[in-house]
Amino acid sequence: MARPSSSVSAEIGWLALFLVVFVACVFLFVRTLVPHHFSDKIAICLAALFAGLIWIVVRASVSRVRS
């Protein structure tokens, strides 16, 4: 079964959501983890992983609700 294609504006919206979550995760990790345990680069990598996982879960749940 073919999935319907989404519009460009919807994809830009998903990208904006990912960037907001990523910036929030970077701010949280740099503020809490870096002074105690890690360098900035590791905190940014961890933030990218967590933001990606959150984005995957949110997008999957929204697409499940729509269908």
Domain edges within the chain: 10-66
How high is the mean pLDDT of the chain? 84
The three-state (H, E, C) secondary structure of the chain, written as one string: CCCCCCCHHHHHHHHHHHHHHHHHHHHHHHHHCCCCCCCHHHHHHHHHHHHHHHHHHHHHHHHHHHC
pLDDT of residue 16: 92
Query: CA torsion sign, 34 to 38 to 44 to 50?
Result: negative
pLDDT of residue 3: 65
Is the confidence at residue 24, as pLDDT, over 60? yes
pLDDT of residue 4: 66
pLDDT of residue 2: 59
pLDDT of residue 12: 92
pLDDT of residue 20: 92
